[in-house]
C-alpha cells in the first residue's frame, strides 16, 4: 500500500494492495491492523480489470477503491509496450465496501473515465451517503497510451470535485461535480 489510513478514534490501520493475485492481475486485497498490531481483517476481491490503484478512501463506515483506467497488462508488457497505460474505454469503477461488512457486499459504481491520485477528504453523511473530495484529471498524467505514445500534448489540469455515493441508490447515479464554493 502506498497510502494506509489510520483511524483517529480506534488507532486501527486500514491498508490495501493491488495486483494481489500476482503481477498485473485485477485482484485487490485489503485489511486492517488494530492499535496493538494484530491483523483483524484481510480480504480480497476482483476489480473489473487490472489497474494501478494508487490510493483508496476510508470513512467511518466505508472503504472506496477507485478503479481508474490506467490498466495493467502482462500481455502488453511482454510485447515491450507499457505495463500500465491509459485506456479510457475501460471507464471508471469505484468499489464501495462496508468497513465492517464482507466482500459479498461490494457495490460497484461506474462513471466516465477520469484519474485521481489522492482523496483530500471523505466522510459519511447522516443520511448514509459517502462524500469524497479530490482533484480529478480528464486524462491520466504521467502515463502513456497502450502503444506508448503520450495521451496529451499538454499536461492535463485537474479540477476539484466532490463525489457522492448513495450505497442504497442506483449504481450509475452517483454524482460528480466541481467544487466551486
Sequence-separated (6 or more) residues with CB below 8 Å from residue 35: 10, 11, 12
Tallying the residues shown for the chain, one arrives at: 181
In this prediction, residue 2 carries a pLDDT of 81
pLDDT at 40: 96
CA distances from 119 to 9, 77, 104, 123 (A): 20, 29, 25, 11
d(CA 34, CA 100): 13
Mean pLDDT of 119-128: 94
Average pLDDT for 110-135: 93
Q: What is the pTM of this model?
A: 0.92
Q: State how far the Cα of 93 lies from the Cα of 21, in Å rounded to an integer.
A: 19
Mean pLDDT of all residues in 120-129: 94
β-strand partners of 94: 66, 109
DSSP 107: E
Amino acid at each position: 500500500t502506498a497510502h494506509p489510513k489510520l483511524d483517529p478514534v480506534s488507532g486501527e490501520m486500514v491498508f490495501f494492495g493491488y495486483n494481489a493475485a500476482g503481477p498485473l492481475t485485477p485482484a485487490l486485497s485489503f485489511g486492517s491492523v488494530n492499535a496493538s498490531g494484530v491483523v483483524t481483517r484481510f480480504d480480497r476481491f476482483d476489480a473489473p480489470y487490472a489497474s494501478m490503484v494508487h490510493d483508496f478512501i476510508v470513512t467511518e463506515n466505508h472503504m472506496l477503491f477507485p478503479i481508474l483506467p490506467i490498466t495493467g497488462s502482462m500481455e502488453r508488457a511482454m510485447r515491450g509496450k507499457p505495463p500500465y497505460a491509459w485506456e479510457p474505454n475501460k471507464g471508471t469503477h469505484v468499489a464501495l465496501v462496508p468497513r465492517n461488512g464482507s466482500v459479498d457486499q461490494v457495490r460497484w459504481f461506474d462513471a466516465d473515465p477520469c484519474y485521481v491520485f489522492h482523496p483530500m477528504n471523505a466522510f459519511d453523511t447522516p443520511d448514509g451517503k459517502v462524500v469524497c473530495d479530490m482533484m480529478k484529471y480528464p486524462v491520466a498524467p504521467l502515463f502513456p497510451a497502450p502503444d506508448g505514445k503520450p495521451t496529451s500534448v499538454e499536461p492535463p489540469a485537474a479540477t476539484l470535485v466532490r463525489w457522492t455515493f448513495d450505497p442504497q441508490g442506483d449504481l450509475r447515479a452517483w454524482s460528480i461535480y466541481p467544487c466551486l464554493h
